[in-house]
Amino acid sequence: MTREKLMNVEEFRRALEKSGFDAVVAVSQPNVFYTSGAFITTQKSIPSRLAMTVLPKEGGDVLLVCNIEESLARTESWIEDVRSYVEFAQSPISLLADVLTEKGLADGRIGVEKKYLSAAFYDELVEALPRTRFEAGDSLFDEVRSIKTIGEIERYRQAGLATERALVEAFREAKVGQTERELRYSILDKLARLGASNTNFATLAAADQSWHGHPPARDRELQPGDLVRVDVGAAFDVYGSDVARMAVVGNPTELQREIYAKHRQVQRKAIEYMRPGVRACDVFQRCVQTYAELGIQCPGPHVGHGFGLGGHEIPMLQPYNTLELRPNMLICIEPVVMLKGIGGFQLEDLVLVGEDGAEILTTYADTQELFVIR
Amino acid sequence: MTREKLMNVEEFRRALEKSGFDAVVAVSQPNVFYTSGAFITTQKSIPSRLAMTVLPKEGGDVLLVCNIEESLARTESWIEDVRSYVEFAQSPISLLADVLTEKGLADGRIGVEKKYLSAAFYDELVEALPRTRFEAGDSLFDEVRSIKTIGEIERYRQAGLATERALVEAFREAKVGQTERELRYSILDKLARLGASNTNFATLAAADQSWHGHPPARDRELQPGDLVRVDVGAAFDVYGSDVARMAVVGNPTELQREIYAKHRQVQRKAIEYMRPGVRACDVFQRCVQTYAELGIQCPGPHVGHGFGLGGHEIPMLQPYNTLELRPNMLICIEPVVMLKGIGGFQLEDLVLVGEDGAEILTTYADTQELFVIR
């Protein structure tokens, strides 16, 4: 069945017109899905098996896939012109060159995803079409996708809420003596039961690993005093989530409670501060400033990121990014403090930028208090 | 804790010497893990957050990571010289250029993973070090990794067996009326209980989707007559699997039973044929020939692939690949036939190439008969 078209077609057409490109070519899984509706899982598991969309300024979009993926692509995509290559018999780049030539674009200016396409494939493309002016077209896709449609917002809201719920329910059932791996698995199990089709990542960092960024969960039993930090990204069909929550095993120490409270305050003040026109770097600085007032040094390198099909998307909330927030951006706000010997502190919520301010979408359970596992 | 060093150090040093490179730089997750022991999950979830190893011919390896991953990298890696960059403040490529310069390699010949590094990062690297001769170094890593060490073989054997077991147990418990999603989830659940930390991919293709390559599982109930094709890759810690099995709901039709039997015969004859010195394309042709004898046209584009950290690895068993099989290669052998209106037929097993022939490692349950779900 053809998938529902949630892409922002008007914004995309406007951006393409403004870019001066004669066409853009999508190569990454997020951009191919966004512009075609075909979700090709092997774009991630087998990166050399390219799938692409060719999107000319004049219209007449084409979807290019490996023959193995053709029947699914024809079922899912709203693009009717689907071309396939036989893997190993033909290079996907030679098919792309054929399609660009056929469309009269061989002398044109073409935007390609240079941040995604490998140097080897890019070299092959430039060699195949020496007269074509290939340029980086990544930012066109990034910008269009950063403003979500109503349909997208609803899907990410549901994905975020279900993920938060899985985390909280797993925390509620957790017990002293359960292993890190068991608790991590309990979260994944609840995610699946709440409808997740995949887990993109799931970090459970406990005790002396809580201040590592993304350590593996261990067969070690949870003990009183352990801080547990969980950061999970699940996919509900195609639409993902990115939520982080914390817990402590047994009664928290005064220090754990205090830093958690301060940390949460930083996150909440940043959310209150977010609205259209505020720059990404200003949100970062707002966190630095609140941390400083509370006596904590903010480590960076960022305090959050735009969220969508690509996971980390624009705007990155980092100190050098002057991009302004705009209505219908979705942001994962996640200041993080890693204090070696004390703990890693992280809360991550999904936030929608509205006309008058930011709204938290992950509201299944309050995070006021550090969750206690008994 | 530093991870066990399973890389084939001697083979790597020999290959590096033979290549003529002054150093090679690993950029992909498989190669960074293989050469350092640090498993950085964000290399996949956040591709712009590069992690790299610089491996000079003269020794003195360096591991480069984002500051967020530094504490884990120092814990896991056997490389003592770990350098970090602060994301957004410094580009990972500028740190790489600094390290190459410091090591006296700025005038050298450097092999990089051009099939993995993006065109944008590659351009930045070439601009940062205009005197350095950068060349594609991918095949050096591919070739070394294609010959597994004893420790690796044992891990992949365990991963393959556990995956096969999860599939078979889920089939045994499956029932008419269970939905496709429920059966898929049952497999993931068993995988996790058998020790899997992640699922890299899990395709369950049933009924009128069984001949699509990688369709999503649906909320549709399994019905008598459905063919169910499952292809799963799980990760046990870092070491993965890739196993496919089939079942039919209720009594198979004569046609289903017949094609399954022929299909399995093709796979088994290919395995019997595999031994050191046989070329990858010969294994492909062997399948084409057996299929032809049985009256089926082999669709290709491949009938299997080397298996390891990268999923699809060399040797790809495809018609144009003249690479010879060598002892201690691990191969996933998976001829596939997609017959629209009848069904998609796939069995995938992990096979070890030994001195005298090939040994199937995924031997938890026989595949002689098409599994029947009652």
DSSP one-letter code for B69? G
pLDDT of A299 over the 80 cut: no
Contact B318 A201 (CB under 8 A): no
Chain B residues with CB under 8 Å of A217 CB are: 197
| Inside any domain, residue B4 | no
Both tokens assigned to A54: 């060719």
Question: Please, what's the largest Cα pairwise distance for chain B?
Answer: 69
Contact B71 A320 (CB under 8 A): no
| Inside any domain, residue B25 | yes
Contact B192 A212 (CB under 8 A): no
| Inside any domain, residue A4 | no
Any idea which of A52-56, A305-309, B289-293 has the lowest mean pLDDT? B289-293
Query: Which pLDDT value is given to residue B299?
Result: 73
| Inside any domain, residue A3 | no
* pLDDT confidence band for A297 (50 / 70 / 90): confident
Pick the last residue of a domain from B146, B166, B184: B146
Q: Over pLDDT 70: what percentage of chain A?
A: 100
For residues A316 and A353, state if they share a domain.
yes
State how far the alpha carbon of B177 is from the alpha carbons of B174, B182, B226, in Å. Answer: 9, 10, 11
Contact A72 B40 (CB under 8 A): no
Report the C-alpha gap between B348 and B337 in whole angstroms.
12
A33 touches chain B (CB under 8 A): no
Give the tens place of pLDDT for each residue, B144-185: 999 999 999 999 999 999 999 999 999 999 999 999 999 999
Report the C-alpha gap between A280 and B130 in whole angstroms.
34
Q: Between A and B, how many residue pairs show a Cβ–Cβ distance under 8 A?
A: 168
Q: Rounded to a whole number, what is the distance in Å from the CA of A120 to chain B's nearest CA? A: 5
pLDDT of A298 over the 80 cut: no
Give the tens place of pLDDT for each residue, A112-145: 999 999 999 999 999 999 999 999 999 999 999 9
Give the tens place of pLDDT for each residue, B294-331: 998 877 899 999 999 999 999 999 999 999 999 999 99
A302 touches chain B (CB under 8 A): yes
Chain B residues with CB under 8 Å of A138 CB are: 120
Strand partners, B343: B339
Our count of domains for chain A comes to: 2
In angstroms and rounded to an integer, the radius of gyration of the C-alpha atoms of chain B is 22
For residues A138 and A231, state if they share a domain.
no
- The answer to whether A140 and A111 are in contact (CB under 8 A) is yes
Contact B123 A114 (CB under 8 A): yes
What's the gap between Cα A121 and its chain centre?
A: 25
- The CATH number for B50's domain is 3.40.350.10
Report the C-alpha gap between A84 and A75 in whole angstroms.
14
Query: Which pLDDT value is given to residue B320?
Result: 97
| Inside any domain, residue A191 | yes
Report the C-alpha gap between A248 and A257 in whole angstroms.
9
The interface residues of chain A toward chain B in range 69-128, judged by CB-CB distance below 8 A, are: 69-72, 75, 86-89, 112, 114-123
For residues B232 and B272, state if they share a domain.
yes
Residue A363 domain boundaries: 150-373
For residues A93 and A224, state if they share a domain.
no
DSSP one-letter code for B178? -
A41 touches chain B (CB under 8 A): yes
Contact A116 B118 (CB under 8 A): yes
Nearest to B124 by CA among B159, B96, B145: B96
- The answer to whether A204 and A217 are in contact (CB under 8 A) is yes
Q: Rounded to a whole number, what is the distance in Å from the CA of B178 to chain A's nearest CA? A: 14
β-strands B23-26, B109-112 pairing: parallel
The interface residues of chain A toward chain B in range 189-208, judged by CB-CB distance below 8 A, are: 189, 192-193, 197-203
| Inside any domain, residue B75 | yes
For residues B116 and B165, state if they share a domain.
no
Strand partners, A347: none
* Category of B299 on φ-ψ map: left (φ > 0), alpha (ψ -120 to 50) or beta: alpha
Nearest Cβ partner for A197 among B216, B237, B319: B216
Query: Which pLDDT value is given to residue B361?
Result: 98
B214 touches chain A (CB under 8 A): yes
For residues A135 and A193, state if they share a domain.
no
- The answer to whether B233 and B240 are in contact (CB under 8 A) is yes
For residues B131 and B156, state if they share a domain.
no
For residues A118 and A185, state if they share a domain.
no
For residues B222 and B357, state if they share a domain.
yes
Query: Which pLDDT value is given to residue A31?
Result: 98
Query: Which pLDDT value is given to residue B297?
Result: 84
* pLDDT confidence band for B33 (50 / 70 / 90): very high
* pLDDT confidence band for A37 (50 / 70 / 90): very high
Query: Which pLDDT value is given to residue A322?
Result: 98
Residues ≥6 apart with Cβ < 8 Å to A273: A282, A283, A286
| Inside any domain, residue B367 | yes
Contact B72 A215 (CB under 8 A): yes
Q: What is the mean pLDDT of chain A?
A: 97
* pLDDT confidence band for B1 (50 / 70 / 90): confident
- The answer to whether B75 and A212 are in contact (CB under 8 A) is yes
Give the tens place of pLDDT for each residue, B71-105: 999 999 999 999 999 999 999 999 999 999 999 99
State how far the alpha carbon of A13 is from the alpha carbons of A20, A59, A141, A309, B372, in Å. Answer: 11, 9, 11, 19, 51
- Mutation for testing the B interface, residue in A45, A77, A82 having most B CBs under 10 Å: A45
Q: Rounded to a whole number, what is the distance in Å from the CA of A143 to chain B's nearest CA? A: 17
Contact A188 B185 (CB under 8 A): no
Pick the last residue of a domain from A101, A126, A146: A146
Give the tens place of pLDDT for each residue, B283-292: 999 999 999 9
Query: Which pLDDT value is given to residue B286?
Result: 96
Q: Rounded to a whole number, what is the distance in Å from the CA of A193 to chain B's nearest CA? A: 8
For residues A187 and A280, state if they share a domain.
yes
Nearest Cβ partner for B197 among A116, A122, A216: A216
Nearest to B248 by CA among B308, B183, B324: B183
Pick the last residue of a domain from B102, B131, B146: B146
Give the tens place of pLDDT for each residue, B321-359: 999 999 999 999 999 999 999 999 999 999 999 999 999
Q: For residue A188, give the amino acid letter.
A: L
| Inside any domain, residue B355 | yes
- The CATH number for B309's domain is 3.90.230.10
State how far the alpha carbon of A242 is from the alpha carbons of A166, A315, A361, in Å. Answer: 12, 15, 12
Q: What is the mean pLDDT of residues A261-290?
A: 97
DSSP H/E element including B243: strand B243-249
Query: Which pLDDT value is given to residue A258?
Result: 96
B371 touches chain A (CB under 8 A): no
> In terms of CA atoms, which chain B residue is nearest residue A211?
B71
Report the C-alpha gap between B59 and B35 in whole angstroms.
12
Query: Which pLDDT value is given to residue A1?
Result: 82
For residues B324 and B271, state if they share a domain.
yes
> In terms of CA atoms, which chain B residue is nearest residue A67?
B301
For residues A142 and A187, state if they share a domain.
no
Q: What is the mean pLDDT of residues A183-187?
A: 97
Give the tens place of pLDDT for each residue, A253-273: 999 999 999 999 999 999 999
Query: Which pLDDT value is given to residue A300?
Result: 79
The interface residues of chain A toward chain B in range 127-166, judged by CB-CB distance below 8 A, are: 136, 138
